[in-house]
Amino acid sequence: MKSLLVFFLFLQAAFVQAQEIKAKVLDAGTKQPIPYANVVFGENRGLVTNEEGYFSYNAEEDKLPEIVKISSLGYELLEVTPAEISEGIIYLKPASIELGEVFLSNKNLSAKEILEKVKEEVNHNYNFDNSKKRVFLRQSGTSYVRRFNMEVDKSTIEGIDQDLMNEISAKIPKVSDSYKEVLADMYGNYDTQKVNIIKAANLYNPQSMKNLEEITENFNTLFMNTLKERSYLKIKSGIIGFKVDEDELKEGLVVSEKKEEKTPEEKEKARVKSRKYLQESSGANVKRLMNGMFWKEDITFNLFDKSNKYKYNLNGYAYIDNNTVYVIDFEPKRGADFKGRMYVNTLDYGVHRLEYENVKPLKKFRLFGISTADDVYRGKMIFVKDEAGKYNLSYLERETGETVGIKRPLTIIEKNKHVKGRRKQNELDLDLDLRVSEIVKLQLVVYQTEAMAPGSFDNIAATDDFEYKTFKTYNPDFWSGYNIIEPNEAIKNFVALDAEKENL
């Protein structure tokens, strides 16, 4: 019986393993990874490689596809069987372009004329009907402390000195990252969506928040031990100043007490609240991405809406999915904000792929030593053409970032008119020099698209319960059996500073 059990388990493991395809796509000549290659497993079913060329696919209904189609811009279309991917490496050959093929079907258009054709054919080329899409959404957040200096010029508060400021600077993590991953069904079109989460994970670093809490607690304790009854504070920075009265002071400098264990009812309430927030924030992120499609008006990436502000260069031709595409570069003129590249089909003027990035901060503010800058805005859009000739969304990516700086003097004076002697009781003078950046990256992968019956969109009810776990270390088993965009090395190596080997 024991031998039979072992044999059965072996067969079961082999069967499960056989339902997964996992590989890395490389350039046949350079052996370099090919990021964001299209991997198609059937009609309206596929994925893209990650930025390191990896992909994995878990077959549904215990059935692997007979043929896998792999393509990327500038490479020949490759068709292979799952068995041919057993070694985990796939090579794509660079495609050679026969220019005669381009001009047999098209006159010699300028890059600007091609762009106008793209705009004319959007409604014909792209699928705007309601559909059900199985999607994977990853939100990556990274914070950078570029500079954190606090110089103490004067302090009469015991314990608040330069040593404390140096300790604060040392405790704050210079780089901290976090990731939220959501597998969901998305219903609707490019204008209106409903998102129902199936499963979600949160990789985050509680130590970064814990450090800030410890610092705040220590600072508050020192203040509370020094401040006299019925005192108030005068806070000044240059010519700017304000008063903090006694009630505000007590409320703002409360030293937290020991947290009590939550009751089962409180835990359940927190569980429901966290899932509701994730459902709403995921829907908002999807909407934010969809609202940035290149053909829409009044969007931040305004290449097509404000085409006269850009100059264009037809930079040759490439192949994708056995189609010839124009390679068009664009850059600003007349104060525009973006540069990038697009790949346009030479026959129907559909955009297969579009990449863009800002060349200058989109917004800047500087006044009295305080500065902010929206200095990162870049993204990608990838579409796959189906058998009906329509372009369907395959991959969306957008990164946004902001930098905040403070370089100002700060004076905090404790005053008390109820204590004998001078009204001024204590004073703390600081020179602040802080600079912090944050970048948020959204990635949306569409794995499967199904048509929806007319009128069915309104009947889609929101989900309020799904599996959602938070981890301090990357857990490779959590997504086993599901299709996601392969995690990169940064995610695989994610470990919180105080990580335990178990879920929170």
> What is the secondary structure of 360-419 as a DSSP string?
S-SEEEEETTEEEEEEEEEEEEEEEE-TTS-EEEEEEEEEEEEEEEEEEEEEEEEE-TTS
Q: Is 90 within the bounds of a domain?
A: yes
- Residue 89 has phi, psi (to 5 degrees) of -130, 135
Residue 116: per-residue pLDDT? 93
Contact in structure between 446 and 178 (CB atoms under 8 Å): no
pLDDT, residue 195, reads: 94
Query: What's the CA gap between 446 and 46, in Å, rounded?
Result: 8
Q: Which residues contact 439 (CB under 8 A, 6 or more apart)?
A: 141, 142, 144, 376, 399, 400, 401
Q: Are strands 370-385 and 351-358 parallel, antiparallel or unpaired?
A: antiparallel
One domain for residues 92 and 139: no
* Locus of tokens 């309430």: 269
Please name the residue that has the structure tokens 């010699």.
108
Q: Which of 96, 116, 147 is the last residue of a domain?
A: 96
- For 164-189, give the secondary structure using H, E and C: HHHHHHHHCCCEEEEEEEEEEEEEEC
Same domain, 81 and 166: no
Q: Which pair of structure tokens corresponds to residue 418?
A: 């109820």
* Closest by CA position to 425, among listed 229, 220, 161, 150: 229
Q: Give the burial class of 138: count Cβ atoms within 10 A of its Cβ; 0-12 exposed, 13-18 middle, 19 or more buried.
A: buried
Tell me if 255 sits within 8 A of 221, measured CB to CB: yes
Can you tell me the distance from the alpha carbon of 496 to that of 475, in angstroms, rounded to the nearest whole number?
Answer: 12
Answer yes or no: do 87 and 230 share one domain: no
Give residue-wise pLDDT tens across range 33-57: 988 888 888 777 788 888 888 888 8
Give the pLDDT of residue 13.
38
Which of 94, 49, 55, 91 has the alpha carbon at shortest distance from 73?
A: 94
Q: What is the reported pLDDT for 375?
A: 94
The b/e string for 298-336 (b: 16+ C-beta within 10 A; e otherwise) is: eeebbbbebbebbebebeebbbbbebbbbbbebebeeeb
Residue 15 is classified by DSSP as: H
Q: How many domains does the chain have?
A: 2
Tell the residue number behind the tokens 């210079």, with chain if given. Answer: 174
pLDDT at 412: 87
Residue pLDDT, tens place only, 233-248: 888 887 777 787 767 7
CB 338 within 8 A of CB 303: yes
CATH number at residue 33: 2.60.40.1120
Taking a C-beta distance cutoff of 8 angstroms, is the pair 351, 118 a contact? yes
C-alpha closest to that of 432 among 15, 149, 168:
149
Q: Is the domain of 146 the same as that of 275?
A: yes
pLDDT of residue 400: 96
Question: For residue 331, is it within any domain?
Answer: no
Q: How far apart are the first and last CA of the chain?
A: 39
Amino acid type, 413: I
Q: Could you tell me if 217 and 295 lie in one domain?
A: yes
Q: Are residues 398 and 293 in the same domain?
A: yes
The reported pLDDT for the residue numbered 300 is 93
110 part of a folded domain: no
State whether 162 and 260 are in the same domain: yes
Report, as ranges of residue numbers, the positions in the chain whose pLDDT lies below 70: 1-19, 60-63, 86-87, 96-107, 205-213, 246, 249-260, 421, 495-504
How much is the pLDDT for 6? 35
Single residue among 96, 121, 150 that ends a domain in this structure:
96
Tell me the C-alpha to C-alpha distance, in Å, between residue 392 and each of 44, 228, 335: 8, 67, 32
56: domain range?
Answer: 16-96
Question: Among all chains, which residue has been given the structure tokens 């902001």?
Answer: 402
Asked whether residue 500 is domain-assigned, the answer is: no
> What are the distances in angstroms from CA 231 to CA 64, 298, 489?
73, 52, 53
Q: Do 235 and 367 have their domain in common?
A: yes
Query: What pLDDT is recorded for position 337?
Result: 94
Which DSSP state fits 309?
G
To 10 degrees, what angle do helices 206-226 and 162-171 make? 160
Cα-to-chain-centroid distance, residue 449:
22
Tell me, what's the pLDDT at 419? Answer: 74
Whether 471 is in a domain gets the answer no
Q: Do residues 390 and 372 make contact, with C-beta atoms less than 8 angstroms apart? A: no
